[in-house]
Amino acid sequence: MPTTDLASGDSRARPAWVRRAFESDSVEPDLDRVRRVGARFLGLGFIGYPVVSAASILASASLTDAWWPPLSILLSVGPGILLIAATFRPGTAWLTPLALTSWVGYVLGLVLWFVAWNGTTLADPGDSAQWMVAFCGMPSMVLMLVRPRLAVVALIASSTLAHLSQQLGRFGEVTSDAPMEVMWSLMFTGVFLAVVLVATRTGRELDETREETYRTAANVAAASAREVEKERFDAIVHDRVIASLLAVRPGRPDDRLATQAASALEELARVPGSDGPDAATDVEVIRRIRSAAADVSERFDVEVVVGEAGGDADGHDVGSGTATYPAEALDAVVEAMSEALRNVVRHAGDDAECAVIVRFAPDSLSMAVVDNGVGFDPETVAVGRLGIAVSIRGRLARLPGGHARVQSRPGRGTTVQILWERP
């Protein structure tokens, strides 16, 4: 029987449930990843504490009305289940309300203990009269993932209420040991709160560092590209234009010199991306687009639509192999499409359907990558993210006549529109 190495770097070898439970999207921000994994394991804690505290729950059941033990368990297990379930949703916007819910549920359980208490005490004061005191810091740890200051306030309130009920259930009154017990609880739990705080701050700093690195890399790449184009332009001016000007002599015009000058001007006009020797025919464009889409995934449909005019600027029929498009424009459009398709694979969801609609027109080449996946809010995408900012929008913005637009809403899918128009 084949074995699966969960420690190996090949995530494809891992069972789907393992990837869903313990792995995050590679492009997810580190802060979100820390919050997601932290909430998942804390949710397990809310569910696990009633199980390991079963003996304490039974031993202290005689101190309260019969309705309180099952209600207190529900107030612990319920938020835990919600936390775990929510960690499989995109983003972490759900964490703040659920963190508040878990803390309110815990405090409500403590307050209701005072209502349900029948005034009796434990026969053995050494036993636990309040099983919820065992995890009084758990709700604060969830809050620490999103609201550190509120987490400290929540810890003080939770610990105080938990130990007061513990004192009453054990001794029938609040003894002089109560402040020390509360202080010990705060110090002990404070260590774990500090660990959570450091983890979230580290995740935030990693995100900021990565975004700055991406931004710097994008700026350097853009500057390098501009420098390459400048050097190329300078070489044409030096080798062709200046040479033609220096060859001019008084007297009868030289036909060969006129041809040379015309050739130089033609090459200069091609530098920004106009048609030239490297132009691709429409048949090659279609083949290239279908091949690029298939390289990302075989499940994507590619539909080709011919523009209303049915031909290019010279009267050639689109799709006949005679219409041409600049190689630079084709490269930019295809690469932007490929990035959009990769985003579909990574983010849209396993059940998402996607289609690529390509439209040829006399002086333009456009396409739309449409999916019905989970969608997202484009305004929340970090500036330094290369996928949309650089690989799609940035790539088309640097192309003369290029445009790109991304439309998406959470739960409504995504449409990436890519357009090149002949300058």
Closest among 372, 376, 337, 332 to 357, alpha carbons compared: 337
> What is the average per-residue pLDDT within 62-69?
93
Place 383 in a pLDDT band, splitting at 50, 70 and 90. low
More confident residue, 300 or 170: 170
Distance CA 47, CA 68 (A): 17
The model's confidence at residue 17, banded by pLDDT at 50, 70 and 90, is very low
Asked if 180 and 136 count as a contact pair (C-beta separation under 8 A), the reply is no
At 47 the pLDDT is: 93
* 3-state secondary structure string across 377-411: CHHHCCCCCHHHHHHHHHHHHCCCCEEEEEEECCC
Q: What is the pLDDT of residue 264?
A: 65
Q: Which tens digit of pLDDT belongs to each residue from 267-319?
A: 666 544 444 445 667 778 888 888 888 877 777 778 887 654 444 434 444 45
Q: Which of 148-162, 181-195, 201-215 has the lowest mean pLDDT?
A: 201-215
- According to the model, what pLDDT value does residue 180 have? 93
Of 359, 267, 266, whose CA–CA distance to 318 is shortest?
A: 359
What single DSSP character describes residue 355?
E
Confidence of residue 4 (pLDDT cuts 50, 70, 90): very low
| pLDDT value, residue 12 | 43
Out of 86-100, 182-196, 211-225, 265-279, pick the least confident: 265-279
**The predicted structure's pLDDT at residue 114:** 94
Higher pLDDT, 263 or 197: 197
Does 21 score more than 60 pLDDT?
no
The pLDDT value recorded for residue 9 is 41
Dump pLDDT digits (tens) for 344-358: 888 888 788 888 888
Provide the pLDDT for residue 289. Answer: 85
pLDDT, greater one: 195 or 236: 195
% of the chain surpassing 70 pLDDT: 74
> Tens digit of pLDDT for each residue in 224-279?
667 766 766 666 665 556 666 766 677 666 666 677 677 667 666 654 444 444 56
| Those residues with Cβ within 8 angstroms of residue 4's Cβ, 6 or more apart along the chain or in another chain | 13, 14, 15
User: Is the model's pLDDT at 194 over the cut of 70?
Assistant: yes
Local confidence band at 161 (pLDDT 50, 70, 90 cut-offs): very high
8-17, 224-233, 262-271, 389-398, range with the lowest pLDDT: 8-17
State how far the Cα of 222 lies from the Cα of 320, in Å rounded to an integer: 36
What's 135's DSSP letter? G
Q: How far apart are CA 242 and CA 240, in angstroms?
A: 6
Angle among Cα 394, 398, 400 to the nearest 5 degrees reads 140
Say if CB 105 and CB 79 are below 8 A apart: yes
Q: What is the pTM of this model?
A: 0.55
* Contact of 129 with 163, CB cutoff 8 Å: no
Mean pLDDT over the full length of the chain:
79
**Using CA atoms, how far apart are residues 142 and 200, in angstroms rounded to an integer?**
12
